[in-house]
Amino acid sequence: MRMSAVLGKPDMKRDSRNEITMKIAVPLFGDRVSPHFGASSQILMIETRDGKIFHKARIDTGAQDPGEITRRLVSSGVDQLVCGGIHRVYRQWLTRSGVRVLDNQKGPAEALVIKMIESGSKKRR
Amino acid sequence: METKKGHTANSSSAPISVFCDITSAVRSPCCTILENISDGVFTIDSEKRITSFNRAAEIITGFNQSETIGQYCFDVFRADICEKNCALDLTLSSQKPQINLLARIISKNGDPKPIRLSTSILRNEKSNAIGAVETFRDVSELEALRRRADRRFTSEDIVGQHPKMNEIISFLPDIAESGSAVLIEGPTGSGKELIARAIHQLSLRKNKPFIAVNCAALPDSLLESELFGYVRGAFTGATQNKPGRFQLAHKGTLFLDEISNTSLNFQADLLRVLEEGRITPLGGTQAVGVDVRIVAASNAEMGRLIQEGKIRQDLYYRLNVVKINLPALRERKQDIPLLMDHFIRQFNLRKERDIQGVSAEVLAFLMDHPFPGNVRELENIIEFAFIACKGPVIDLAHLPRELVEGRSTVPDYLPEDDRMEAEKILMMLARYPNNRSDVARVLGISRTTLWRKMKKYGFLDTGNET
């Protein structure tokens, strides 16, 4: 899936100031994208407003179970998951719950998200 | 692989060390061997970047060699142990091999695969460590067999690519998540229990019990004592308290198979338990609270049974929060080759055989077969063929004779478990028409038990009951 197909869509969430907001989750392997969804102990949460990062945090998954992590992502209102390998059952689960999944990614997590946001902003202009 | 002992062409004395650089672009005989073995093999340098990746590794992971060379091994291998218990890290730091570890990888297209892996240090001709090598093999089939033996099926055990099956599989996590009662409708042998177990495994209750009850296998009075339990003295022979299946399934899932075969009286009792969330064991006075998720299954259409007065409407609405309709195998014929391959792989492992597949005639025949017994019938046919077939390919001659000749005499009224057993016996009787000792031996039962079962299923002629 290309990032341009992900960001800037008309169904994006908007906040009270009518700005597009987005919550992106990246399971971590150190500072990199975790290669195996469900095996990472930390997730990078990045929130954007109108294509700019306004909040980021590392949170402990507190679980080693991909089903439990999926539940938490869905319940915490994540819009997009950026990950390495993900079992297709969990990918379908997330997709059906309204979370866009960008899988088979690798490399430094934050840099990857920033690149994706910039790419999405350019597309919207 | 680290350092290979060999002889130079003109050597006549002691062997000398010959370093085989499997990371070299120049192919050596060693590389040819690596390309032709069924185990995946890859090597990494000291920074954990992949330096070689054999063909089996490509097949197992789904990544082409060109996508992997120079990449970090964890970005390609994607095992659940990469982060906290990396075998290659242990080998690189300790310079000691790691042997036969179990891990789960995720292939490029999202298939989870259990693997067994071993790692070892990789040295150059001066015995200096230059990286590490990992060998691994896909043990998916073995794991599937283990799950089958433990009856702990997951969604990975559901074989099928028909759109109806894909829709069901993709909907399972949502169903599991809902915690609601589920009603599964599907013909005999279509895999209702498999779906029920997969829902349980995906749910929050997965670490709690999954209890299955075949309602058709027990008469009403016994079914009530089985489900609700009894207290000491409740009836003759009740010498101690016995918890019912509801209690055993507390916090877990209770699978009520063939719910449509129960009496209206029992349905009324069941409905009361479902509504109150409490059971009273037979002979008891104290109600016990139970937290159980109900998954019920029926091989008959419940809506029709309500019209016929065989199912209480209120129970139906209680169970029918989420409904799954499993298609008959004849409605998803494109899955027949997949299922055949699946069963052949499983029986090869279980029976230590090496059957490669079926002939074109068998495939054509089975694609035309109506499969009244659905997936279970196909499994039985393949199991039978494994007995009859001594070569690498299953041919028409290896299929049950009554199947090829278009005869099937298993009575329709039999419950599912009995049908499965009756079909097996019938197949073996067709295979060994004049030798019941052989039939009994193949089935692993005594001649007397065989005779009793043949009588039960109506396979005995009146003049042939000795």
Model confidence at A35: pLDDT above 50: yes
Helix axis angle, B336-350 to B374-388, nearest 10°? 50
What CATH number does the domain containing A88 carry?
3.30.420.130
* B77 in contact with chain A, both atoms CB, cutoff 8 A: yes
* Fold category of B4-137 in CATH: Beta-Lactamase (3.30.450)
User: pLDDT tens across A84-95, in order?
Assistant: 999 988 998 899
Number of CB atoms found within 10 A of residue B148's CB: 14
Residue of chain A minimizing CA distance to B74? A35
Chosen for mutation from B72, B80, B165, B174 (greatest number of chain A CBs closer than 10 Å) is B80
Q: How far is B177 from chain A (nearest CA, A)?
A: 8
Number of CB atoms found within 10 A of residue B137's CB: 18
Half-sphere exposure of B239 (CA within 13 A, CB side): 1
As a 3-state breakdown, chain A gives helix, strand, coil percent values, each rounded to 5, of 30, 30, 40
Over range B198-225, report the average pLDDT: 90
Q: How far is A54 from chain B (nearest CA, A)?
A: 29
Contacts of B352 (CB under 8 A, 6+ apart): none
Q: Give the number of domains in chain A.
A: 1
Chain A contact set for B158 (CB, 8 A):
none
Query: What confidence category does residue A1 fall into, taking pLDDT thresholds of 50, 70 and 90?
Result: very low
How many interchain CB pairs under 8 A, A with B?
79
* Partner-chain residue, chosen from B78, B84, B174, that has the shortest CB–CB distance to A35: B78
Contact flag B82-A90 (C-beta cutoff 8 Å): no
Contact flag B106-A85 (C-beta cutoff 8 Å): yes
End-to-end CA distance of chain B: 65
Architecture in CATH for domain B331-464 = Orthogonal Bundle (1.10)
What single-letter amino acid sits at A53?
Answer: I
Chosen for mutation from B60, B71, B75 (greatest number of chain A CBs closer than 10 Å) is B75
- Domain borders along chain B are 4-137, 145-325, 331-464
* B196 in contact with chain A, both atoms CB, cutoff 8 A: no
User: pLDDT tens across B222-250, in order?
Assistant: 898 899 999 888 787 888 888 999 999 99
Model confidence at B3: pLDDT above 60: no
Q: Which domain holds residue A53?
A: 3-124
User: pLDDT tens across B94-132, in order?
Assistant: 989 999 999 999 999 999 999 999 999 998 888 888 899
Query: What confidence category does residue B15 fall into, taking pLDDT thresholds of 50, 70 and 90?
Result: very low
pLDDT given for residue B409 in this prediction: 63
DSSP per residue over B118-186, as a string? EEEEEE-TT--EEEEEEEEEE-HHHHHHHHHHHT---GGG----SHHHHHHHHHHHHHHHH---EEEE-
Interface of B with A in 199-258 (CB under 8 A): 202, 204, 206
* Fold category of B145-325 in CATH: Rossmann fold (3.40.50)
Number of CB atoms found within 10 A of residue B360's CB: 10
User: pLDDT tens across B124-179, in order?
Assistant: 888 888 899 999 999 998 888 888 777 778 888 889 889 999 899 888 998 998 98
B153 close to B59: Cβ distance less than 8 angstroms: no
- DSSP helix/strand/coil, A95: helix
pLDDT given for residue B181 in this prediction: 94
**Structure tokens, B29:** 């005989």
Contact flag A103-B74 (C-beta cutoff 8 Å): no
Chosen for mutation from B78, B105, B202 (greatest number of chain A CBs closer than 10 Å) is B78
Return phi, psi of residue B254, to 5°: -110, 120
Query: Which contiguous run of DSSP H or E holds residue B79?
Result: none
Model confidence at B307: pLDDT above 50: yes
B388 close to B431: Cβ distance less than 8 angstroms: yes
Return phi, psi of residue B62, to 5°: 85, -5
Strands B242-243, B288-289: pairing is: unpaired
Closest by Cα among B298, B278, B300 to B288: B278
Over range B176-185, report the average pLDDT: 93
Distance CA B368, CA B381 (A): 14
* B39 in contact with chain A, both atoms CB, cutoff 8 A: no
Distance CA B69, CA B61 (A): 14
* Partner-chain residue, chosen from B76, B83, B169, that has the shortest CB–CB distance to A39: B83
Interface confidence (ipTM) of the complex: 0.83
Contact flag A35-B82 (C-beta cutoff 8 Å): yes
User: pLDDT tens across A93-122, in order?
Assistant: 899 899 999 999 999 999 999 998 888 766
